[in-house]
Amino acid sequence: MMKVLKVSDKGQISIPVEVRKSIGIERNDSLMLVCQGNRIILQKPEKILKESFSDLNSEEVARLVWDNEEDEIWNSV
């Protein structure tokens, strides 16, 4: 889907209803704006986080973060 949007005097744009519905954007939702070169990407933060970390196994990550010798010093405190 492609739409042409106009920028207001205040720098605001309106996201068309059909785009909001297709992506699941509702009133008061937060969006993350990412600039990549001359492109602007608007995405729901949950989607970015899910895509960015989808290949991580949470148990494996927890083990890497908490199961290390540097943190063993805190066991004696």
Q: Is residue 47 part of a domain?
A: yes
pTM for the full predicted model: 0.54
Q: How many domains does the chain have?
A: 1
Q: Is residue 37 part of a domain?
A: yes
Q: Is residue 51 part of a domain?
A: yes
Q: Is residue 5 part of a domain?
A: no
Q: Is residue 11 part of a domain?
A: no
Domain housing 32 = 17-76
* DSSP classification of residue 20: H
Bridge partners for 32 per DSSP: 43
* Residue 13 in this model has a pLDDT that exceeds 60: yes
Span 34-66, pLDDT tens digits: 888 999 988 888 766 566 555 556 666 666 666
Residue 43 near residue 31, CB atoms below 8 Å: yes
- How do the residues of the chain divide into helix, strand and coil, expressed in percent and rounded to 5? 40, 15, 45
